[in-house]
Structure 1
């Protein structure tokens, strides 16, 4: 089965975006040239699974940021909603998390980058996340979209490592014990 992996930034108060989905608070930090392991992480995955909101946020970037295949999970979008410039690189699925992972496994994917708050939450609830790299930025934004939402029971994580950077970023890696 394809394994799920998370690499995400959060504010000190646990938000991944402002209430309107904006991620402007991620910009303008010192040490901009440092990628905090993101390039190596991207090399380790076969593609991305993200939600519609995360996809729409990525479309706002000046250039499409991904060279790997992207699966957008949405109940309202179809492949016809994907910009023509991304045809063949982005596809839409309305399947449940486990069905998506089974399909990706059948397609030969070994590791999938799981991105977007609600998508991460749903994959975590299903026990489909193997590990998480969470980079906490030293900013309090007060409200927004949380990384973690309601769970049906405790989700225990095993701490792998934590690194602190001169920028003030603190990056922690966890293994999901249920995975």
Structure 2
């Protein structure tokens, strides 16, 4: 089964984006091999807000030209005809993600955001949280993970550190955590 990997940049104080959705706070580091990273995935999953934040940017362009790209956007309001090149999932998105995990192929990149990550985490779908901790304090914005609002949030979700790497040039910490779910 393919892995669902939440791969995200986060500020030291736990935010994945400021309120305006900008990305200029993310510290660049030329040692990061983005081509190699993107090659590990063939499916990209994100919420509507994250998608709207990247629309018209180089990131959206890269997603749409990825050779094996399957882009799923979780949204109840986006209109499929107005968003070519992506699949809008307006119904049971957890079911749709489970189905994607069962298919043959590369891993799935849970691209964002905090609400979608929280819902997928509560459903037991996230395999790893791969966070690039930026040496930046945003002091507000979109949290790394949010409560789902349905009372099903798992407080104290356990993670097991798999590896950590400090990027010397930028001070970014690249951390990979395995999500540890309680035995059922």
Shorter chain as denominator, the TM-score bin is: 0.7 to 0.9
Query: Partners in 1 of 2:162 and 2:102 — Cα distance?
Result: 30
Cα RMSD for the two superposed structures = 2.1
Superposition deviation, residue 90 in structure 1: 0.9
Structure 1: gaps spanning 5 or more residues: none
Alignment of 1:102-113 (within 5 A): 102-105=98-101, 108-109=104-105, 111-113=107-109
Indicate the residue corresponding to 1:19 in structure 2. 19
Indicate the residue corresponding to 2:91 in structure 1. 95
Indicate the residue corresponding to 2:155 in structure 1. 153
Query: Partners in 1 of 2:41 and 2:92 — Cα distance?
Result: 20
Query: Partners in 2 of 1:53 and 1:81 — Cα distance?
Result: 16
Query: Partners in 2 of 1:97 and 1:128 — Cα distance?
Result: 11
Equivalent residue of 1:24, what SS?
Answer: coil
TM-score normalised by the chain length of structure 1 = 0.84
TM-score normalised by the chain length of structure 2 = 0.82
Indicate the residue corresponding to 1:59 in structure 2. 55
Query: Partners in 2 of 1:97 and 1:110 — Cα distance?
Result: 19
Indicate the residue corresponding to 1:129 in structure 2. 126
Query: Partners in 2 of 1:178 and 1:98 — Cα distance?
Result: 17
Query: Partners in 2 of 1:168 and 1:15 — Cα distance?
Result: 17
Q: 1:76 to 1:174 in 2, by over 3 A?
A: same
Indicate the residue corresponding to 1:178 in structure 2. 181
Superposition deviation, residue 23 in structure 1: 1.8
Indicate the residue corresponding to 2:150 in structure 1. none
